[in-house]
């Protein structure tokens, strides 16, 4: 099976640097809507048999242009949501952002039993994302688009896919409407086909002024989680 895993478009929380992970979440900005429209155009040559989104409004808004173009109805699946921020929810101060990023880094370093303060462990996050992807695989599509979230996508993909020499470290930015493509299944494993960290509609659709902590898992600005 082919999985196209796309991060949602820019939201108002991405611009302000707030850790927005709770339901329903903030809307897309005007730029985010332009990113979603551009993504639909960029995906025109891709086979997509079904579209899945999380319960957060930003994933619905991002998926809609692609769904409209193809006459598909996005399916909401619990489990595809962003890694819960817990005690850091809607905070944008340095300590809160560093606490969130540091917790994800702990998972990526192998300690999946560590709990995000006030929220889930790495094991709990991976279990609920796995359940959602297994449901998608059970749909027996040849190819499906999943619109999800930055930290969630990098953590799940980096943990579940077969190591690939061209895969960037999970610390590298995954910008709004970036796209990771995998092929395989849970038995044979997931192989990386491509990893585009910039918007699929083009780098001109990026906003270098946005704080966006879940898009850039780097609390120090030096390319390393810390």
Catalytic residues: 8, 82
**Interatomic CA distance for residues 124 and 129, integer angstroms:** 9
Q: Is the dihedral of CA 207, 50, 79, 195 positive or negative?
A: negative
CA angle in degrees (0–180, nearest 5) for 205-207-213: 125
**Interatomic CA distance for residues 181 and 143, integer angstroms:** 10
C-alpha Rg value of the chain to the nearest Å: 16
Cβ distance 81 to 24 under 8 Å? no
Cβ distance 192 to 167 under 8 Å? yes
Which helix (H) or strand (E) covers residue 139, if one does? none
């Amino acid at each position: 099976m082919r999985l196209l895993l796309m991060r949602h478009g820019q939201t108002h929380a991405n611009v302000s640097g707030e850790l927005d992970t709770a339901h329903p979440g903030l809307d897309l900005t005007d730029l985010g809507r332009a990113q979603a429209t551009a993504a639909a155009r960029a995906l025109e040559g891709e086979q997509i048999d079904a579209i899945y989104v999380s319960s957060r409004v930003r994933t619905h808004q991002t998926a809609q242009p692609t769904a409209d173009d193809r006459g598909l109805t996005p399916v909401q699946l619990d489990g595809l949501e962003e890694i819960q921020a817990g005690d850091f929810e809607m905070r944008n101060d340095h300590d809160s952002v560093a606490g969130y990023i540091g917790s994800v880094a702990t998972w990526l370093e192998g300690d999946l039993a560590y709990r995000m303060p006030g929220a889930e462990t790495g094991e709990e996050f991976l279990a609920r994302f796995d359940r959602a992807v297994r449901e998608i695989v059970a749909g027996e599509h040849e190819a499906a688009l999943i619109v999800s979230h930055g930290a969630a996508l990098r953590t799940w993909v980096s943990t579940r896919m077969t190591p690939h020499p061209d895969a960037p470290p999970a610390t590298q930015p995954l910008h709004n409407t970036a796209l990771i493509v995998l092929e395989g299944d849970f038995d044979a494993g997931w192989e990386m086909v491509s990893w585009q960290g910039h918007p699929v509609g083009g780098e001109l659709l990026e906003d270098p002024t946005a704080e966006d902590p879940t898009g850039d898992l780097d609390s120090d600005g030096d390319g390393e989680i810390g």
